Amino acid sequence: MGILETLLNEIESNDVDQQVREICDKIFDEEKEKGNIKHFNNLPSGPNIFLALEVPGRTKEEVAFLALEREMSQRYIIVLWTNARKKGLDNMKRSKATEIRENEAGKIVKEYVKIFKFMKGE
């Protein structure tokens, strides 16, 4: 059984949004513990951003995060947030968004992980 399936079995809620949030919280805690998030000041946040993890930017100066965001109940998008530090920008901005066309918590998170790994070069 995979790690994602194990996490899903530990969650008591049947609500897809709650399942996704709990999985994302555990993933974020693990990544934070490993020291993989270096720019906490730029971390996108909000009530509908379930997970934001740092990915390499297009340039050495760029800070980038890949976020899993809820658009509405059980509808999610993956968003690339960027900040070109050399230009002196303090705010992160959305660079690209991709719709997730899945309706199960495990499949939603798998789509995010697939793009995250691609952006990390794995």
pLDDT tens track for 38-91 = 888 888 889 999 999 999 988 887 889 999 999 998 899 999 999 866 655 567
Q: How far apart are CA 72 and CA 59, in angstroms?
A: 33
pLDDT of residue 1: 38
Residue 107 CB burial class (10 angstroms; 0-12, 13-18, ≥19): middle
Of the chain, the percentage scoring pLDDT greater than 70 comes to 88
Output DSSP code: residue 87: G
- Angle, helices 16-34 vs 3-10, to 10°: value is 120
The mean pLDDT value of the chain amounts to 86
Q: How far apart are CA 73 and CA 91, in angstroms?
A: 27
Block residue for tokens 């971390």 = 43
